[in-house]
């Protein structure tokens, strides 16, 4: 992969310097690359996804070339030392924002350079480098990162992307850019596509729309079942349903925890000292000692379970514990039969059994 990446880089440099052809740019081509990368490690659902959210950072090409890969990929600890640790991983939202920025920037950069596919390919290969965490890439990338022209570009929130194409842009100083501001001003550098309006309002609007679209794509990745849906309204529907179901789950689970323990005696120290990836599953049975079975109040339960009609047990992971706790289920069942909306509620109890 490494030689391919390097040759791709050089190719992109060459094509950029040769001349430019105006081609239509698929604005989300880059985010497609992201999605490909996201789908590559399928093992861990959320952690790898959120880890990959950290990848497309325009902010620091240092990220691309010197990531803290131990955080990105749990399986590659030995590469940590190879990278400079000067980059702080931002929080999730910041990364998403940067991801969107990157996609917008890729859009802009390709507009600027008018060599779209090699550019995005280069960036995507850079991403792949980050994913594979190859330390050797840093040497090839050093000239890009340390490009002196970078200092002159102080684009608002779009520095990293300029760093990437710094060398290529240097070779294109003769390019007349219609809608671009002076290089040294801290403005957004945006290039208008062919046949589109060039006033600042529409440009800003377009940038904003692309940001929103990039984030929506991320959301689609996160929420299961949204990939096949096209259309913002339906996707938003799915997202809303997902959030509501999660909130209902939290309600229900807190009720369950409340029902179980009037006094949970948890050994905090052993929790705090445990380091393994899944400490909770193993530690809990030893730690948690519920004192008594409480008197379950019928009214309270009825109200709670009425809300759980849409409790989607399908999405719940099957826990490794196969046994069903009949002691716990039967009080619930007896309550649920009182319920006016009994059908859904008993179905819910069955789901609960299956889940356990």
Partner 1 sequence: MPLSSLKPKMRPHSSLKQEFLKKWIMGLQRCSFSKKNMSILERKKAIKFSADIAMASARNGTTCWSRSLISNASKEGSDIHVVEQILGSESDRPAVENKVPTRRASVCKKIVKRSCRIRRRRRRRKCVASAPSSIAKHLVRKRREVLKSLIPGGEFMNEICLIEETLDYITSLRVQVDVMRSLASASVRASE
Residue 26 or 159: the one with the smaller Cβ distance to partner 1 is 159
Burial 84-107 (b: 16+ CB within 10 A, else e): eeebeeeeeeebbbbbbbbbbbbb
Give the C-alpha separation, 126 to 1, whole Å: 11
Give the C-alpha separation, 314 to 318, whole Å: 9
**Does 322 help bind partner 1 (rule: CB under 8 A)?**
no
**Does 296 help bind partner 1 (rule: CB under 8 A)?**
yes
Nearest to 105 by CA among 190, 204, 227: 190
Give the C-alpha separation, 283 to 273, whole Å: 11
Segment 31 to 50, residues that bind partner 1, using CB under 8 A: 44, 46-47, 50
Q: Taking the complex as a whole, how short is the minimal distance between the CB of residue 253 and partner 1, in angstroms?
A: 4
Q: Taking the complex as a whole, how short is the minimal distance between the CB of residue 25 and partner 1, in angstroms?
A: 22
Give the C-alpha separation, 207 to 199, whole Å: 13
Residue 114 or 153: the one with the smaller Cβ distance to partner 1 is 153
Length of the chain: 356
Give the C-alpha separation, 1 to 22, whole Å: 29
Number of residues that bind partner 1 (CB under 8 A): 91
**Does 187 help bind partner 1 (rule: CB under 8 A)?**
no
Q: Taking the complex as a whole, how short is the minimal distance between the CB of residue 171 and partner 1, in angstroms?
A: 27
Tell me the longest C-alpha to C-alpha distance in the chain.
81
**Does 277 help bind partner 1 (rule: CB under 8 A)?**
yes
Quote the Cα angle for 219-223-225, to 5°: 120
Residues 6+ apart with CB under 8 A from 20: 113, 114, 115, 172, 175
**Does 331 help bind partner 1 (rule: CB under 8 A)?**
no
Binding partner 1 (rule: CB under 8 A), the pick from 91, 176, 230, 340 is 91
**Does 92 help bind partner 1 (rule: CB under 8 A)?**
yes
Which pair of tokens denotes residue 228?
């096949």
Backbone angles phi, psi at 108, to 5 degrees: -65, -40
Binding partner 1 (rule: CB under 8 A), the pick from 8, 35, 149, 290 is 290
**Are the CB atoms for 14 and 94 separated by under 8 Å?**
no
**Does 93 help bind partner 1 (rule: CB under 8 A)?**
yes
Binding partner 1 (rule: CB under 8 A), the pick from 259, 335, 336, 349 is 259
**Are the CB atoms for 112 and 25 separated by under 8 Å?**
no
Q: Taking the complex as a whole, how short is the minimal distance between the CB of residue 113 and partner 1, in angstroms?
A: 23
Map residues 156-185 to x or -, x wherever contact with partner 1 holds by CB under 8 A: -x-x--------------------------
Q: Taking the complex as a whole, how short is the minimal distance between the CB of residue 328 and partner 1, in angstroms?
A: 5
Binding partner 1 (rule: CB under 8 A), the pick from 280, 318, 342, 354 is 280
CA atoms within 13 A on the CB side of 196: 16
Binding partner 1 (rule: CB under 8 A), the pick from 14, 75, 136, 325 is 325
Residue 144 or 259: the one with the smaller Cβ distance to partner 1 is 259
Residue 5 or 73: the one with the smaller Cβ distance to partner 1 is 73
**Are the CB atoms for 63 and 70 separated by under 8 Å?**
no
Which pair of tokens denotes residue 116?
């779209």
**Does 319 help bind partner 1 (rule: CB under 8 A)?**
yes
Residue 22 or 197: the one with the smaller Cβ distance to partner 1 is 197
Q: Of the listed pieces 25-33, 172-180, 193-201, 325-333, which binds partner 1 according to CB under 8 A?
A: 325-333
Binding partner 1 (rule: CB under 8 A), the pick from 3, 42, 148, 263 is 263
Q: Taking the complex as a whole, how short is the minimal distance between the CB of residue 329 and partner 1, in angstroms?
A: 10
Residue 292 or 340: the one with the smaller Cβ distance to partner 1 is 292
Give the C-alpha separation, 143 to 10, whole Å: 12
Question: Which phi-psi region, left, alpha or beta, contains residue 133 (left: φ > 0; alpha: ψ -120 to 50)?
Answer: left
Which pair of tokens denotes residue 24?
């239509």
Segment 232 to 251, residues that bind partner 1, using CB under 8 A: 232-233, 236-237, 239-240, 242-244, 246-247, 249-251
């Amino acid at each position: 992969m490494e030689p391919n990446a390097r040759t791709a880089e050089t190719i992109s440099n060459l094509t950029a310097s040769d001349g430019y052809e105006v081609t239509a740019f698929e604005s989300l081509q880059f985010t497609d690359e992201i999605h490909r990368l996201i789908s590559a490690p399928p093992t861990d659902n959320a952690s790898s996804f959120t880890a990959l959210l950290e990848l497309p950072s325009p902010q620091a090409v240092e990220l691309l070339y010197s990531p803290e890969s131990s955080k990105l990929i749990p399986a590659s600890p030995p590469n940590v030392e190879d990278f400079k640790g000067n980059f702080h991983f931002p929080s999730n939202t910041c990364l998403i924002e940067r991801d969107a920025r990157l996609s917008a920037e890729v859009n802009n950069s390709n507009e600027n350079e008018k060599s779209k596919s090699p550019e995005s390919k280069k960036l995507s290969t850079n991403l792949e480098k980050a994913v594979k965490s190859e330390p050797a890439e840093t040497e090839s990338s050093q000239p890009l990162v340390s490009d002196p022209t970078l200092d002159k570009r102080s684009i608002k929130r779009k520095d990293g992307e300029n760093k990437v194409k710094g060398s290529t842009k240097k070779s294109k100083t003769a390019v007349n850019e219609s809608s671009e501001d002076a290089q040294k001003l801290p403005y957004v550098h945006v290039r208008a596509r062919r046949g589109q309006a060039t006033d600042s309002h529409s440009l800003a609007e377009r940038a904003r729309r692309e940001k929103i679209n990039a984030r929506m794509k991320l959301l689609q990745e996160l929420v299961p079942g949204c990939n096949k849906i096209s259309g913002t309204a339906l996707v938003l529907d799915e997202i809303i349903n997902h959030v509501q179901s999660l909130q209902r789950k939290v309600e229900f689970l807190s009720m369950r925890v409340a029902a179980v323990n009037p006094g949970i005696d948890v050994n905090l120290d052993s929790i705090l000292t445990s380091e393994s990836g899944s400490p909770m599953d193993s530690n809990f049975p030893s730690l948690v000692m519920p004192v008594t079975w409480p008197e379950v109040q019928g009214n309270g339960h009825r109200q709670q379970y009425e809300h759980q009609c849409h409790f989607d047990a399908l999405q719940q992971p099957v826990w490794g514990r196969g046994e069903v706790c009949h002691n716990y289920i039967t009080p619930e069942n007896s309550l649920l039969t009182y319920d006016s909306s009994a059908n859904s509620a008993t179905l819910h109890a069955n789901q609960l059994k299956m889940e356990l």
